[in-house]
Amino acid sequence: MERRWSVNSGSVPHEAAAQSSARGPMSNDEVYAAGLLNRALDPATQPPEIRSYLQAEIELLNGTIVHGMAVIDVGCGTGRHLAMFRDRLRLGVGVDYEHTYVVEARRRAGARRLHFITGDATAVPIGASFDLATCMTNTWGTMSDKAGVLNEMRRLAPRPRTRLLSVYGEASVLPRREWYHRLGHPVVEESSESLMTEGGFRSEHFSEARLRSLVGDCLIHPLAGIAYLVKF
């Protein structure tokens, strides 16, 4: 699903599911810590619309990242996007608050130009500036302090239009419902802005108007029919 599911194997472990049932839904943090990333990124779990969206993100980055760039990926999960383009990067830094994902990203990196750190997306412990800051696969749509994340991305990539968000649009609801169900997290609550699963995972989706109200000055482009790319 999103970055977490930075969207690691299978659905939530039985122990975690039992604890959730006993004490109520898990938080997003707990769902992420339970580990769903690798299973969610397995194409066999993904409805066609989701597969197309994930491929569109890769094609977008392929057309954006040029040789010699310094790129920071906020909510990097296990670092898959940075790893794909490591041969082009002067420097690649991934930040994620889930330490187990950062450990896996470091293991997979295999390049001195890639670095991964455990940190808060609203207070990234880095003073350097980057050519590009990204937050992909609706990771931003799972974060509580969205304004704080935007402010950090602006600080880290100070030039206009060098920050990229990839987020779900309203047309994503049906394929996401199917995807989450396949991952053992059926949707139990839907609003005009979010889906909530039985396991406690909450994921937002956006209209263009809502994106503009949250991001401010930005460029918005449709992506794969179910999402938006936001440049700000």
Instruction: Find how far residue 153's CA is from the centre of its chain.
Output: 14
Band of residue 38 on the pLDDT scale cut at 50, 70, 90: confident
**Structure-token match 């470091």, residue found:** 106
Q: What is the mean pLDDT of residues 105-131?
A: 93
Can you give the pLDDT at residue 8?
29
Domain 14-231: CATH class, spelled out: alpha beta
Triad 138, 143, 149: Cα angle to 5°: 95
Can you give the pLDDT at residue 28?
53
Q: How many other C-beta atoms lie within 10 A of the C-beta of residue 110?
A: 9
The percent of residues above 70 in pLDDT, for the chain, comes to 84
Residue 197 has pLDDT above 60, yes or no: yes
Length of the chain: 232
Q: Where are the domains of the chain?
A: 14-231
pTM here is 0.86
Residue 11 has pLDDT above 70, yes or no: no
Q: What tokens were used for 160? A: 């206009």
